Amino acid sequence: MARIDTGIIDTTLDPAAELASLAGADLSAGGVASFLGQVRQEDGLTALELEHYPGVTDQALARIARTAAQRWQLDRAVIHHRVGRMTPGEPIVFVGATAPHRRAALDAVGYMIDLLKTEAPFWKRVHTARGSHWVDAADTDRQAADFWLDQMASEDA
């Protein structure tokens, strides 16, 4: 049974601690994979603000991690996501997986981050010197999620 570790964090995310915890959690895992998302500095961005739907967002993260763990026979699945106000360079999200083999861990991380972008209720507000505005999900995010969903549907058929 995989260990599922998900959470919403309103303080600084520590990538080194996240990776150390993931890598040291299961010495029988042959594959340890992770993704770290951070705030980009683009178009005069001074801050990024993320809001979520308490309870519902937590459930979505857990569901995504559980599905990945089942699909790729993971030993561990981790999704930790920041909320609140962040500045360029600050970590936003850590996604990780351990599995007996590298391909399973790598694919699971890809699946989790792609589904997270479209299936978990987060709202993004960009702040610049000119003001602030809310940002919609990108079409590329939906396409990335659809890739995994289509692949899983065809394998189940």
Domain locations in the chain as residue ranges: 3-150
**Among all chains, which residue has been given the structure tokens 């594959």?**
31
CATH homologous superfamily of 3-150 equals: Molybdopterin biosynthesis MoaE subunit (3.90.1170.40)
Per-residue pLDDT at 25:
67
Give the model confidence (pLDDT) of 24-75 as tens digits.
867 778 899 999 999 998 888 999 999 999 999 999 999 999 999 999 999 9
- Quick one: pLDDT at residue 150? 81
pLDDT, position 123: 95
Extract the tokens encoding 60: 């979505």
* Percent of the chain's residues with pLDDT above 90: 75
Helices (H), the chain: 15-24, 56-71, 102-119, 139-156
- The answer to whether residue 101 scores a pLDDT higher than 80 is yes
**Considering the chain, what is the average pLDDT of its residues?**
92
